[in-house]
Amino acid sequence: MRACLALFVLSAALSAQGIDYIKAHYTKHEFEIPMRDGKKLYTAVFTPKDTSQRYPILLNRTPYSLRPYGVDQYRASIGPSEHFAKAGYIIAYQDVRGRWASEGEYLHVRPHNPNKRGPNDIDESSDTYDTIDWLVKNIPNNNGRAGIWGISYPGFYAAMGAIDAHPAMKASSPQAPVAEWFIGDDFHHNGCLFLAHAFNFFIRNDWIRPEPTKKGPEPFDMGTPNSYDFYLRMGPLTNANEKFFKNKSVFWNDMMKHADYDEFWQARSMPKHLKQVKPAMLTVGGWYDAEDVYGPLRVFESTGKNGNPPQNTIVMGPWYHGQWAGHPGDYMGNVRFNAKTAEFYREKIEFPFFEHHLKGKEDPKLPKAYMFAVGSNEWRRHDTWPPREGQEAALYFHPKGKLAWDRPTGAAAYDEYISDPAKPVPFTDYIAPAMTREYMTDDQRFAASRPDVLVYQTGSLTADVTLAGPFKASLNVAVTGTDADFVVKLIDVYPDNFPNYSPNPKEIQMGGYQALVRGEPFRGRYRNGFSKPEAFTPNQVTKVEFELPDVYHTFRREHRIMVQVQSSWFPLVDRNPQKYVDIYNAREADFQKATHRVYTGGDRASNIKVRLLK
């Protein structure tokens, strides 16, 4: 997926810049920049041929290779967008420590070391510091100011580079940054393993290398385009290593040893280290980012609480992972926004941000939160996020599938379903070889028809309803097993007479479309803390509460609000055996059917707690 993203962004930017333009206006250099411990990091630097003025430095640090290698081998585009090469910047790309052509040992999401005592105490913050220090001292015609940006994993490095930053570092833009690989980014969500994504990533990106290299690993062939069938046939997670990884993935093995939120994961929590941040921060994310919708929200929040940057702005648009970098941004999957949102962001937000902080150009006066409201399809500016004018409310589950603002009266009632790990609920209604970016807006009608999915919905809305900020699922449940997952999905149901889009090559019927707004799983054993797993007592009513990532969504008049509840989401999420065992070492015999009840009446009524924006 990440490789596809890189190719997409590259091809999109190609039309805007092109190799011929870059060659005509920039000279490429390659350096091995020494770090404080003596290791050298391979870095490509593009400098403007026009030497009549001084330019700021923009750095991108990546574990995915700064290719193409060679001073005569040029990229099709440089910088965060098409605007930067034309405006004139010194653009640097670096293979991070231990990856590709750089020396040293590589660690995934390397923990930050706040107590460095000598030259051998290194982390991503120190590597960024040393790189900036070398660049400002050795690259001619720089103006003494530097910035850093990156999308996804490079977004993690952009955030880490803002910690204990070099004095020349004036601006940082972490975009879709990895923040917490156990709580909400990429490979785990609330303790659930995002199986298809994790397997697909580590089978391609986590090989053991004896020395620096400019050659990547061999691609992996699943042998089928049907990921649902592939992972079901694979069986328990232990089979992944035995059949496919063969102990070649260090981090996969580490994940299998650390099923809970222990010191291994806690050390890799990045947001808590965003203290006294000095560079201006522009954090960017997508409402429909299948990989890192959680990260940008937490980076912005932590920087605001603990940092002291001259600017701290978050931008969230209606985008999939990295879509803002090279796409018009006028649609996502089957949902359309009637605006070229990504072009607006690149021209009116990102470019002016760096121009101001790195060149002293006019202040664009960006708000704290520049957010795209989906549904009403408009950009909105807020001086806080979530908006301070938001009001807390709850949508309650009622008997017979009703969803309403009022608490149900009468005796406790419940709905129940049988959850069978041998026949898990799929996350799409089409064949896919991996996690898809489109699932974030996919039609959920296929799931609503399954007997192991509970459906609650309002009547047709008589006025627009806008939800802004995080929301919480509060479920009262009883299970016949000793463990269970719960997936909660918030859905926008279109009117039955909603017109089809034109053109409509896929012949998607939009009347009655059930657009996923936000979906999130939760591993029930962590209901009392991610570091404190606890078995369920069979048939005992138990509260399971968890927060879902923020939304900014307007349910339009005549639409309906729907919530679906289920206990599998395969192969997006690994299967819970529904027996309290070490899931990463579970046997086939541990997987069992279970009956799950969700309560809808009286004091036990389940609900979702939301923030209403009037």
Whether 206 has a pLDDT exceeding 80, the answer reads no
Beta carbons within 10 angstroms of residue 232's beta carbon? 16
- Our CA angle for 157, 159, 165, nearest 5°, is 95
pLDDT (tens digit per residue) in 546-566: 999 999 999 999 999 999 999
Closest CA relative to residue 501, chosen from 342, 354, 614, 333: 333
Report the chain's mean pLDDT, rounded to a whole number.
94
d(CA 214, CA 513): 47
Write out 425-452 in H/E/C secondary structure.
CECCCCCCCCCCCHHHHCECHHHHCCCC
pLDDT value of position 208: 63
- Full-prediction pTM beyond 0.75? yes
Amino acid, single-letter form, for residue 518:
R
* Residue pair 102/213 in contact by the 8 Å Cβ criterion: no
Whether 543 has a pLDDT exceeding 60, the answer reads yes
Band (pLDDT 50/70/90 cuts) for residue 1 is: very low
Whether 587 has a pLDDT exceeding 80, the answer reads yes
Joined together, the tokens standing for residue 110 give 């390397």
Domain ranges of the chain: 2-179+270-382, 391-612
Ramachandran angles phi, psi of 208, nearest 5°: -85, 130
Whether 28 has a pLDDT exceeding 60, the answer reads yes
Class for domain 391-612, per CATH? Answer: mainly beta
* Residue pair 601/411 in contact by the 8 Å Cβ criterion: yes
pLDDT value of position 502: 86
pLDDT value of position 457: 98
Q: By CB neighbour count within 10 A (0-12 exposed, 13-18 middle, 19+ buried), where does 353 fall?
A: buried
Whether 491 has a pLDDT exceeding 60, the answer reads yes
Q: Tell me, which fold does domain 2-179+270-382 have in CATH?
A: Rossmann fold (3.40.50)
138 DSSP 8-state letter: H
Band (pLDDT 50/70/90 cuts) for residue 16 is: low
Amino acid, single-letter form, for residue 295:
G
Ramachandran angles phi, psi of 416, nearest 5°: -140, 160
Q: Which residues contact 36 (CB under 8 A, 6 or more apart)?
A: 119, 122, 126, 130
Ramachandran angles phi, psi of 319, nearest 5°: -120, 150
As a whole number, mean pLDDT of residues 73-101 equals: 96
Joined together, the tokens standing for residue 329 give 């941004």
Joined together, the tokens standing for residue 247 give 């102990």
pLDDT (tens digit per residue) in 48-60: 999 999 999 999 9
Band (pLDDT 50/70/90 cuts) for residue 333 is: very high
